[in-house]
Chains A and B, each alone.
Chain A
Amino acid sequence: MNIQDYTVSRSTRAARVALVVTALLLVILFLAPWWAGRADMRLMGELFLYLALASLWNLMAGYAGLVSVGQQAYVGFGGYMLFASTIFLGINPLVAIVFAGFLAALVSVPVAILMFRLRGAYFAIGTWVVAEVFRLCFAQVSSLGGGSGTSLPVGIVKSLASERAMREALSYWLALGAAVIVIAAVYLFLRSRQGLALTAIRDNELAAGSLGIDIWRNKFIVYVVTSALTAMVGALIFLQKLRITPDAAFSVYDWTAFVIFIVVIGGIGTIEGPIIGTLVFFALRETLADLGTVYLIVLGFVAIVIMLRAPRGIWGLVRSRYDLEFFPLSYRVHLKAAKGQDGN
């Protein structure tokens, strides 16, 4: 056979259909302030922020092999930086979100240098220690309320938009925007040269290293970028809540355990996984909310069962049955339509 008999492409029909459906869905979601109630918009906003957190954790753990249980450090840091920079420096809250991301990137550099000395599971718990250090430090800052926390002053809240409906719409759009930007960034990053190196590291670190990929540098870049983006999502979370305390800001269960459950339930190492996982998580939460702590027990069981029975998650189950990829990352070889025959 001749080399011209083949073409190599990434796109598939499913992906093209998915692109159109996603675009339509985004338009509908963008218009939510005109068709959804306040409670629904709040819930969807929260869902988008969890989706962003899950996608970021998935990039770190699923692709760069950095299994962190300390991402609450950056969620809380972002939240506190939003409060500090708007209250003390008088920065506009929208600018403060970006500023929080920038500061988090700076802080994450020494943290990464220190934590990368730990391997595997010890890296995981080491990051948790860092998050505890952040929590204890912010609990010492009396001008931010110390251990009991503080609220965002009314003047700053009003500076977003004077009307309540407009503020709620804006907060919703920011959450939607955060999810879209994070997923798009992860997707484009993984399709780039860097992403290819990252996927190689995920599949076999030793082989990737021997092919000349700088493993430390690649992981470092991913850590710093996800930390910055996680902090921006954290700023958005506490812009929505309008109140921050050290315990809420640096909660290992809210910002890491649930995020890990989401990613594993949906399917780690895929872009689609966190999306499915977030939907399942919120469906579980909304149906079992009346049961209180029983809901968390059920969630723990679901996560354990999925990890043991279907370690690639729900999306992994789907992919093993159907050859689907809505966010095409892998390359496919197609036979060219030779002699009137569709060789796809």
Chain B
Amino acid sequence: MDWLNAILQGTLLGGLYALFAAGLSLIFGVMRLVNIAHGDLIVLAAYLGLTVTVGTGLHPLLALILVVPAMGLIGYGLQRGLLNQTIGQDILPPLLVTFGLSVILQNTLLEAYTADPQKLDAGALETASVSLGGLTMGILPLLTFLIAIGVIWGLQWIFYRTALGRAFRAVSDNQEIAQLMGLNRRHIFGLAMALALAVTAVAGILLGIRTSFDPSVGGARLIFGFEAVIIGGLGNLWGTLAGGVILGVAQTVGAKIDPGWQLLAGHLAFLVILAVRPNGLFPRISG
């Protein structure tokens, strides 16, 4: 029963990792950009949530109403003002610029909020739980998992059912021809980043409710998100959710064997899958 419980908790944790990964997967799919600052942007969203909840007394989940559009605006501005200039064949410019961004973000957060760990206070939600046939599930992890499913379903819907999604797929397939057909790819990229950071806002707030955070924790979130994307297969959002779940289960099962093994087990699961299935479990586009 303990093992079953570990697997269940890992599955729910996987929802959070899928949320870390969804934004990363989206921007890679649309513009082949790998954003090293992605984890730091998740942490930025958590701090924005902290400022909003402390300033207005709102519940962290209600703070999403402000943080999601704020992160979306930041995303659009970042893409049009900075990241669009790095898009091209060479992978070094986006890598270096987002690395620079990561250093700037981390140290700006350090100046603004100090290195003290912070946490978002969600009241009774943090400890509430339901029992199901001998297994106990926290309401918050369950809610996170359901939100992850909802977000991925929403992204899928945007991608395959809306004009914006058609534009995303068009620039993803061929930037030049999409441009010839009258799409402004700079604007489309801006919207993709806005959408990605809106998802990141949700991930950041849920992270902040679940655990304490400080300005230095972004790197690890980036890695979890990246692993979920690769395990699931590039360009497949439901695959990303599966990747997050596999990573989460590996971590909780690893922690069950030895508490020091939690992170290591997740990374090893990733490396094993990379060795066996280099393109991930359910790939849709080649890297």
Contact = CB atoms under 8 A, between A and B. Distances in A.
Determine if chain A interacts with chain B.
yes
Interface of A: 61, 67, 69, 114, 117-122, 124-126, 128-130, 132-133, 136-137, 139-140, 252-253, 257, 260-261, 264, 268, 293-294, 296-297, 299-301, 303-304, 307-308, 311
A33 to B, nearest CB: 35
B150 interface: no
Given A132-B263, A304-B100, 11 more contacts: A117-B278, A120-B34, A124-B95, A125-B36, A125-B222, A129-B271, A140-B260, A296-B103, A296-B106, A300-B101, A307-B93
A122 B96 contact: no
Contact of B100 (A122, A140, A300): A300
Contacts of B219: 128, 252
B223 interface: yes
26 contacts: A69-B95, A117-B274, A119-B287, A121-B91, A121-B94, A122-B34, A122-B226, A124-B91, A124-B95, A125-B36, A129-B226, A133-B267, A133-B268, A133-B271, A252-B219, A294-B107, A297-B103, A297-B111, A300-B104, A303-B96, A303-B99, A304-B101, A307-B86, A307-B97, A308-B82, A308-B93
Q: Identify the 5 closest CB pairs spanning chains A and B, nearest first.
A: A121-B34, A300-B104, A300-B103, A117-B278, A300-B100
A315 B103 CA distance: 24
Given A129-B223, A129-B267, A140-B260, A69 B99 contact: yes
Nearest to A295: B107
A250 to B, nearest CB: 11
A196 to B, nearest CB: 22
A308 B270 contact: no
A129 B220 CA distance: 9
Contacts of A137: 264
B136 interface: no
Interface residues of B, number: 42
Contacts of B102: 257, 300
B86 A308 contact: yes
A297 B271 contact: no
